[in-house]
């Protein structure tokens, strides 16, 4: 079992606490002049996304989390699981709804996604920062309006709804920033 000592704590380090994998966001070394040293960390639970603060005695060890970040190709959804494939090894992985979370709104078949694997199981699926998706439904824009001010709702092929400028029409393909959920341009 690999372990990390508190002196190896730095942001991004992943370890197990109470059976859940955590990633360190911030680590502060605390040492009263005449007292014992400890580490105060802000950590994110990689399963729930919840951020908590913990305090460790300096010199204590924690169990390293077998967490790997990799790029997988999205294949299909069988109604219960979202299936991904490693394009090199062709190995397939099934991600739960909790793991894909918000990424569901943006990914379509054959998209490459960043996937965090914990003990070989998908823990977090991240949509690419930018995706290009076809518009399946939106109100026809006003003739002659090219300013883009205001905008209107549009439904994408994945089912997500975003705001687009008035000149964008059904069946057009648009570029979307998945982090903000905002329209970027026509693709």
From candidates 10, 29, 48, 92, binder to other proteins by CB under 8 A:
29
User: 8: number of CA atoms within 13 Å, CB side?
Assistant: 12
From candidates 11, 48, 50, 57, binder to other proteins by CB under 8 A:
57
Q: Taking contact as CB under 8 A, which single stretch among the options 32-40, 72-80, 117-125, 136-144 is the one that binds other proteins? A: 32-40
Q: Taking contact as CB under 8 A, which single stretch among the options 36-44, 68-76, 79-87, 99-107 is the one that binds other proteins? A: 36-44
Give the phi and the psi of residue 7 in degrees, each rounded to 5: -75, -10
d(CA 162, CA 49): 24
d(CA 131, CA 16): 33
d(CA 80, CA 160): 19
Alpha-carbon distances of 169 from 153, 166, 181, rounded to whole Å: 11, 8, 18
Residue 14 or 105 having the CB closest to other proteins: 14
From candidates 3, 5, 11, 36, binder to other proteins by CB under 8 A:
36
CB of 9 to other proteins, least distance (A): 11
From candidates 10, 11, 48, 53, binder to other proteins by CB under 8 A:
53
Residue 28 or 69 having the CB closest to other proteins: 28
Point out which residues pair with 154 in neighbouring strands.
Answer: 138, 162
From candidates 3, 5, 25, 30, binder to other proteins by CB under 8 A:
30
- Cite the DSSP H helix spans in the chain: 97-100
From candidates 58, 73, 132, 155, binder to other proteins by CB under 8 A:
58
Q: Does 35 bind other proteins (CB under 8 A)?
A: yes
From candidates 10, 31, 50, 179, binder to other proteins by CB under 8 A:
31
Burial class of 151 by CB neighbour count within 10 A (0 to 12, 13 to 18, 19+): middle
Q: Which 99-138 residues touch other proteins, going by CB under 8 A? A: none
In this structure, the number of other CB atoms found within 10 A of the CB of residue 178 comes to 19
- Interface residue list for other proteins (CB under 8 A): 7, 17, 28-38, 52-58, 60
């Amino acid at each position: 079992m690999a372990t990390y000592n508190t002196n190896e704590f730095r942001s991004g380090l992943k370890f197990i606490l109470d059976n859940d994998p955590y990633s360190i966001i911030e680590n502060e070394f605390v040492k009263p002049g005449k007292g014992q040293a400890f580490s105060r960390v802000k950590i994110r639970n990689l399963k729930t996304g919840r951020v908590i603060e913990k305090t460790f005695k300096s010199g204590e060890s924690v169990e390293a989390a077998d967490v790997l970040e990799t790029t997988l190709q999205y294949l299909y959804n069988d109604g219960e699981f979202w299936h991904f494939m490693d394009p090199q090894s062709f190995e397939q992985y099934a991600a739960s709804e909790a793991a894909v979370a918000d990424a569901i709104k943006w990914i379509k078949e054959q998209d490459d996604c960043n996937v965090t694997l914990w003990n070989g199981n998908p823990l977090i699926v991240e949509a690419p920062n930018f995706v290009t998706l076809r518009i399946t439904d939106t109100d026809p824009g006003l003739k002659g309006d090219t300013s883009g001010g205001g905008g209107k709702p549009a439904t994408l092929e994945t089912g997500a709804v975003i705001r687009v400028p008035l000149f964008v029409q059904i069946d057009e393909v648009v570029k979307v920033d998945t982090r903000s959920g905002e329209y970027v341009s026509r693709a």
